[in-house]
Amino acid sequence: MSRLADIPIPDELIQCARKADAAAQAAIYRAMGPAVFALIRRLVGNRAVAEDLFQDTMMAMFQRLGEFRGEAPLGAWLRQIAVTRCLMYLRSPWHRARLHWEFGDEDSSLRSVMLPATPATSVDVVDVERALASLTPVGRAVVWLFEVEGYSHEEIAQLFGRSVSFSKSQLARALARLRQGLTPQEDQEACTQI
């Protein structure tokens, strides 16, 4: 189930925002902003990058609101804008260069540090965040789009410009890693023996 697509925005509010009504735009921003940022942060990991992409996405939404035909919820349309921008970033040479500068070697360059933007309220969420942080950016994007945002393998393949089997294999690998990260290691020695 998609989070963004579930947010109800009255048509009247959208009409007012189209006419550059600042109050209506502010109301949409307040309603959509948190979910948009959460999605972007999960997809790209790095908070500073997520902020830039968030700004870009919200600006694009207000600029292109005239093109929104209302056939799908506003959140679904906005989600498409956000996801497209995130994937463009993940595919960009700049992103690869940044990972290389930050992590150096090839293996660790596949991962990026992702810390929760706001303090998580439960221990389980902290575990999930930590497990997500261990994934590659592409793997994380695929698993999030498939499992949380409800994208199909065909849609993910189209977004990445790759085959359906690419999406399936990325998902399988990401789930295997998440399983590994989320499984309680009870047989592991927790403390140093005295």
Cβ neighbours of residue 191 under 8 Å, at least 6 residues apart? none
Q: What is the 3-state secondary structure (H, E, C) of 17-33?
A: HHCCCHHHHHHHHHHHH
Query: Is residue 183 a contact residue for other proteins (CB under 8 A)?
Result: yes
Contact 78, 32 (CB under 8 A): yes
Part of the chain binding other proteins (CB under 8 A), chosen from 76-84, 94-102, 144-152, 161-169: 144-152
8 vs 6: CA distance, rounded Å: 6
Part of the chain binding other proteins (CB under 8 A), chosen from 7-15, 27-35, 80-88, 161-169: 27-35
66 vs 140: CA distance, rounded Å: 32
Q: Which is nearer to other proteins, 109 or 133 (CB)?
A: 133
Q: Which of residues 101-130 bind other proteins (CB under 8 A)?
A: 117-118, 120-122, 124-125, 127-129
Query: Is residue 53 a contact residue for other proteins (CB under 8 A)?
Result: no
Query: Is residue 73 a contact residue for other proteins (CB under 8 A)?
Result: no
